[in-house]
Every structure is written in C-alpha cells, then in structure tokens.
Amino acid sequence: MEGNDARRANLDHWEALANYHGHGDDAYYDLDLLRSGGTLMGVEELAAIELATHGVGLAGRFVLHLQCHIGCDSISLARMGANVTSVDFSKSALDRLDVLAAECGVSVTTIEADATALPATLDGRFDLVYASVGVLCWIEDIDAWMGCVARVLRPGGSLVLVELHPVVTMFESVEPLVADFPYCFDGPRTYSGTGTYANRDADIAWTTVQYAHSLGEVVTAAYRAGIVCTHLIEHTSGSFNTGQFDGPEDDDRYRLRLGVGAERDGVREPACPLPVLFTLVGVSAAAAVPPPTSA
C-alpha cells in the first residue's frame, strides 16, 4: 500500500486508537493522573525542553505540538505556561484533547492537519515545536516533515524531538529475536495485526503503513531544512515499554540487550544495552541552509 491508501489506512488506525486510549484499558494513557495535575512526559522530554529553552522555560511561549494524538503532553506544555497549538490528522484525537483540556482547566488550540502539510497560517509563529515518540514512522517524506517544522518556527525557535531510536524499532520482538523493520528508509512497509502499542490485547485489528528513517536521515533532514542540531542524545534506557520487552529492569527502566556480555570471574554479565530512544534538539537558523537541488 502507498500514497492515499496508506494515509487512509493509517488514519483509520489512529481514529480507532484515539477512541480506545485513555479509558483505563491501556498502560500509557493515565488520564486520571493528568487530570489530578500529574504529567505523562518522560524524563527525556522534560530534559529536552530544559535544553531547548536553556533553562528559561516555556512560560508565555508559543508551542506547536505535532502529531499530538489525544494530547496528554499538550496539557503538560500548557501547564508550563505555553500557548499551545496541537496538530493531529485524526479528528477524534483532537476531540478527545478538547475534552481533556477542559477537564484539566487549560487552553489548547487544536488543528486537524497532516504534519507534512501544515497550514500557512502557522508559518513563523512558534518558539518551539514539540514532537514525541512514535511520530516519524508515520511520515514518508522526512524532508517535508522537517521543512514544515522549519517553516512554522520563528528564527531562533527550537525543535524538541524525542523519538524511538531506529535501532529498537528494527525489532518486532527480542524473544525470539525478530528484526522486521528496516534501519534506513526503504519505502512503505505494510503491517497487520491486533492490539495497540499501549495494550497488545486490545480488541483492535489494524493494517498500517510505516516508514523507517535512520538517525542519519533525520539529522540530515534537519540540516537541510535549516535546523541546526544543538543536541543529539541517544538513550540506552527508556521509561516505557517500546513493545519488545517482558518488563523493566530492577531500576524500572527498559533496555534493549541482545545476546550476552563477557564472563568475568565465572559470572556472565548482561549484554551492553543498545539505544532505545533519541533526543534531537535544534534551533531554526536565522539564515537557512539552502536545500540541495534535486536531480
């Protein structure tokens, strides 16, 4: 599947997820915690915002939350004092966010749009663009995505992208070890299954089309779009199950360990962990680097 058919399949899936998530049946979306003032942001996202704002914080700033789904992090961004605009291609997700924002007593502007086709009315308006976990695999044209980010940022504005590391997304499972997703871009890949990433047992059947983007492709796209990377951090542990693990380690963190480590004094050490997440923080350059002319 490709093109409009792929988009339609993915939209159907995300509409279903928007209606399913956050009703107490999944591991990720604890909306009661959010309603009672807590945040569902991970330490990686909070640290990235700290880096992007060099400690100044988001009070009074204009923030665009891309591919916001039901908008849990939009609520947290608004609570940091930001004027938040949230974009998703799923109408149901934005409806959920509108209700959630009202319940949480914060104001969030919602816009239904593809992340690669943002309306021109958003151009140059934002101090920060925020996108978190599980966003890029739905995007075919990574240059278009970064181009949109660069367009909506004002000069000197920042991108905060916290994303699944392309190493971990290669693996469908660790036991048995199944590598079923390319590391680099390899065109559209169609997958079918049941459940959601937040509850594998959910009664949801799906067919989706996803796209791999290597770390190099992401950084290169940012550079081409005129976003200068100030931080690229690879995390070898995460606070949530990226889907491959039976459970967290003793410190409540999830790690991707393939094979085994060295044997020392008769004791077999665990394998050194591979990256599971990455953080990209970049600033929109005052004078963008011109994109290479396409052949």
Q: Which residues bind other proteins (CB under 8 A)?
A: 51-54, 56, 61, 127-128, 153-158, 228, 230-231, 281, 283, 285-287
* Shortest spacing between CB 139 and other proteins, in angstroms: 24
Q: Which C-beta is closer to other proteins: that of 33 or that of 59?
A: 59
Q: In what helix (H) or strand (E) does residue 220 lie, and over which residues does it extend?
A: helix 215-224
Q: Which C-beta is closer to other proteins: that of 15 or that of 123?
A: 123
State how far the Cα of 160 lies from the Cα of 283, in Å rounded to an integer.
9
* Shortest spacing between CB 225 and other proteins, in angstroms: 14
Rg (CA), the chain: 19
Cβ-count burial of 67 within 10 angstroms (0-12 exposed, 13-18 middle, 19+ buried)?
buried
The tokens for 142 are 């990574």
Concatenated DSSP letters of 129-184: EEEESS-GGG-S-HHHHHHHHHHHEEEEEEEEEEEE-HHHHTEEETTTTEE-S-SS
Q: How many CB atoms lie within 10 A of CB 16?
A: 17
* Shortest spacing between CB 273 and other proteins, in angstroms: 26
Q: In what helix (H) or strand (E) does residue 105 lie, and over which residues does it extend?
A: none
Name the nearest CA neighbour of 127 among 97, 152, 147, 92: 152
Q: Which C-beta is closer to other proteins: that of 100 or that of 122?
A: 122
* Shortest spacing between CB 213 and other proteins, in angstroms: 24
Q: Which C-beta is closer to other proteins: that of 7 or that of 79?
A: 79
CB 86 within 8 A of CB 71: yes
Residues in a beta bridge with 130:
65, 160
* Shortest spacing between CB 239 and other proteins, in angstroms: 24
Q: Which C-beta is closer to other proteins: that of 10 or that of 158?
A: 158
Q: How many CB atoms lie within 10 A of CB 126?
A: 26
Q: Which C-beta is closer to other proteins: that of 58 or that of 277?
A: 58
CB 203 within 8 A of CB 34: no
* Shortest spacing between CB 56 and other proteins, in angstroms: 4
Q: Which C-beta is closer to other proteins: that of 100 or that of 159?
A: 159
* Shortest spacing between CB 147 and other proteins, in angstroms: 18
Q: In what helix (H) or strand (E) does residue 216 lie, and over which residues does it extend?
A: helix 215-224
Q: Which C-beta is closer to other proteins: that of 204 or that of 285?
A: 285
* Shortest spacing between CB 127 and other proteins, in angstroms: 4
